[in-house]
């Protein structure tokens, strides 16, 4: 059976990816199962470059096919920020998700609503022969000034989905894992993984 290492130390992302990829004829492995502690510096200029850096680093250290991702929140009123820097957005040491949300809302305060935005994700699957397969996904929505919901992570409590009349953090986990940017990118990756597993 094909073994696939998820190239992330982020527990929220790992849970999401494991949920979405379940049922495939592959064995999904987390870094903790192999006792891998790897913090890959995101020096890329695009989501694809960062996703590839992670996938290649985890593939190299493990000898397995590795799946890395990079994602970001792009807010139109802020010219696409925080974008690539979504996870490192708040300018304070050891900032947490709440700090990043507060900093974003502070920067948006002077701009008229609606604050249209999108989550964007790119998946990179690194193969042992050095080849990399990419897929991506987008989820459109808007930022709201008040946090709602206790699910998800990151910017989910202030990312509002007009067609669902709720935030990403208010969605049931299985619904989020059908609608999210990462879910859409992973759905596209499934065919490639199934073909790889049958070789």
Active site residue: 70, 99, 174, 191, which one? 70
Distance separating alpha carbons of residues 133 and 135, to the nearest angstrom: 7
110: which 2 tokens? Answer: 């002077």
**154 phi-psi bin (left φ>0, alpha ψ -120 to 50, beta other):** left
What count of other Cβ atoms lies within 10 Å of the Cβ of residue 155?
26
Is-catalytic flag, 70? yes
| Cα 75 to Cα 144: distance, rounded to the nearest angstrom | 11
- Bridge partners (DSSP) of residue 73 are 119
Q: Which of 177, 183, 199 is nearest to 131 (CA)?
A: 199
Q: Report, as residue numbers or ranges, the catalytic residues.
A: 70
């Amino acid at each position: 059976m094909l073994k696939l290492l998820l190239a992330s130390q982020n527990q929220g992302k790992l849970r999401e990816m494991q949920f979405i990829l379940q049922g495939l004829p592959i064995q999904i492995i987390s870094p903790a199962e192999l006792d891998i502690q790897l913090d890959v510096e995101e020096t890329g200029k695009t989501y694809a470059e960062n996703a590839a850096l992670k996938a290649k680093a985890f593939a190299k250290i493990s000898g397995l096919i590795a799946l890395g991702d990079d994602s970001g929140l792009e807010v139109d009123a802020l010219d696409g920020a925080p974008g690539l820097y979504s996870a490192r957005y708040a300018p304070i040491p050891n900032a947490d998700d709440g700090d990043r949300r507060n900093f974003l809302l502070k920067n948006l305060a002077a701009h008229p609503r609606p604050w249209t935005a999108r989550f964007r994700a790119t998946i990179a699957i690194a193969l042992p022969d050095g080849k990399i397969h990419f897929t991506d996904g987008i989820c459109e929505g808007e930022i709201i000034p008040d946090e709602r919901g206790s699910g998800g992570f990151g910017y989910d409590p202030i990312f509002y989905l007009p067609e669902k009349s709720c935030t990403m953090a208010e969605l049931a986990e299985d619904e989020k894992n059908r609608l999210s940017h990462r879910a859409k990118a992973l759905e596209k990756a499934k065919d490639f993984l199934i073909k790889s597993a049958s070789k």
